[in-house]
């Protein structure tokens, strides 16, 4: 396991959140939900099929990105082999895409 310095974590985290935001924008436009990146926190805001918000935030003390979505919590650590924050081999962008599709299919 690679332990990042706080500065490395912040740089990689900012890049990961921005990349996830950019990856989700076309899907968000076609499915009419909001993707907002403010103050280092990424929010996915849904009005349909029900009101919901997914919150993606850095947790610097443990060097993870935490995702709160659909009453669950996901904790992604830096995976050097993927050059991404990941959980069980699924990157942040892949996880958010899957969760958004699951929620919208709901």
Burial of 62 (0-12, 13-18, 19+ CB in 10 A): exposed
Cis peptide before 49 (omega within 30 of 0): yes
- pLDDT, one tens digit per residue, over 25-41 is 999 999 999 999 999 99
Residues of the chain predicted below pLDDT 70: 1-2
What is the Cα–Cα distance from 78 to 32, expressed in whole angstroms?
A: 30
In a domain, 45, yes or no: yes
pLDDT at 82: 96
In a domain, 57, yes or no: yes
pLDDT at 3: 81
pLDDT at 69: 98
Q: How many structural domains comprise the chain?
A: 1
Residue 36's domain is classified under what CATH number? 3.30.920.10
pLDDT at 61: 95
pLDDT at 35: 98
pLDDT at 53: 98
pLDDT at 106: 86
In a domain, 1, yes or no: no
pLDDT at 16: 97
- Quote the domain boundaries for residue 92: 6-105
What is the Cα–Cα distance from 35 to 32, expressed in whole angstroms?
A: 10
pLDDT at 12: 97
């Amino acid at each position: 396991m690679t332990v990042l310095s706080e500065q490395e974590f912040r740089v990689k985290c900012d890049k990961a959140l921005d990349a996830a935001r950019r990856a989700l924008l076309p899907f968000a436009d076609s499915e009419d939900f909001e993707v907002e990146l403010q103050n280092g926190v990424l929010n996915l805001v849904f009005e349909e099929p029900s009101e919901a918000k997914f919150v993606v935030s850095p947790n610097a003390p443990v060097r993870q990105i935490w995702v709160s979505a659909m009453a669950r919590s996901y904790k992604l650590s830096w995976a050097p082999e993927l050059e991404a924050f990941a959980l069980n081999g699924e990157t942040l962008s892949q996880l958010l895409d899957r969760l958004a599709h699951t929620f919208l299919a709901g």
